[in-house]
Amino acid sequence: MPELPEVETIARQLRGLIVGRTIAHFRSDWRRLTEPEPADLFAARLAGRAIRGVRRRGKLVVMDLDDGEALIVSLRMTGQLLFREKEVEAHPYRRAHIAFTDGTALEFADTRKFGRMAIVDATALDGATHAPRRVGEPLHRFLGVEPLSRAFTVRWLRDFLARRGRSAIKPLLLDQTGIAGVGNIYDIEALWRARIHPLRTAGSLADDEVGRLHEALRWVLRKGIRYGGATRRDYRDARGKEGRMQREFNVYDRAGDPCPRCGAEIVRTVVGGRGTFHCPRCQRLPRGAARPARSRA
């Protein structure tokens, strides 16, 4: 699934490609893409609208329109936003097509059909609410703090972890209503860099460990952006190219390999239902804590 670095890469590319262009028409090739809004109404709302800006919020690509609304795209697991300078053969898994008045286009491809599009009030994306998400409410209204923003300080992180003290640190970092944009890959890499076991409870971290985690999160996310994101299967940037961050993983998807820091064998476990990788020597679990079963899958 594209995470913050992948989505940021796409947003930065699209900022230089589609800002200032006007939408001629929108076509949906899959009826559920714009639910609950019907695709024909969705298309009517976009026709004639100019793109004023492109940014990222959490894992969402946000295209600011010319009247205070925004088109948001959730790529989910396999979504791709591909810019086309001229008409080409449609992607075999194309789910939507945005044609601009100058002949260029933006194609949304999605193998597994998990991606979604919505037109929302742009102000609903500003700031972090920290309010509990209500059942049925869209996630974009409840996104937490951006980990690369000035608001994400060591003090903020310490207070956040204290409020959720009984939670295991690894799944807590994946909660988009707390910290927006961190996904499984960069969560795992940051915990390794900070020398923190994925099952440590948030409240058990000492001040120096919180400081290391804060630094590690920002470091791995910025490195991911610098390398254009990570391509394991489906991710492509707006030009259709693969990322390079997968070549830089220290522990993710490296079960059985030696730890780059100490040489111990990296192990795979399942934490919170997600495949997890860590070094048992560098990332020790405190005595008495329940240890996760190793997994070979």
Question: What are the E-state strand segments in 196-283?
Answer: 267-271, 274-278
The residue from 45, 57, 59, 195 that is catalytic is 59
From the candidates 12, 15, 141, 274, give the one annotated as an active-site residue: 274
Question: Which residue do the tokens 């947003």 mark?
Answer: 11
User: Is 3 a residue of the active site?
Assistant: yes
3-class DSSP assignment, residue 163: helix
C-alpha 55/C-alpha 14 separation (Å) is 9
List 2, 5, 198, 292, catalytic entry: 2
Locate tokens 């299967």: which residue?
233
2 is catalytic: yes
Q: Up-side HSE of residue 103: CA atoms within 13 Å toward CB?
A: 4
Which contacts (CB < 8 Å, 24+ apart) does range 232-239 have?
A: 233/78, 234/77, 234/78, 234/80, 234/111, 235/2, 235/6, 235/80, 236/80, 236/82, 237/6, 237/9, 237/10, 237/13, 238/10, 238/13, 238/14, 238/17, 238/81, 238/82, 238/83, 239/13, 239/82, 239/83
Is 287 annotated in the active site?
A: no
Report residue 57: phi and psi, to 5°.
Answer: -135, 115
User: What does the angle CA 47 – CA 48 – CA 52 come to, to the nearest 5 degrees?
Assistant: 110
Structure tokens at 51: 């793109």
CA distance 71 to 52: 11
Active site residue 59: yes
Active site residues: 2-3, 59, 274
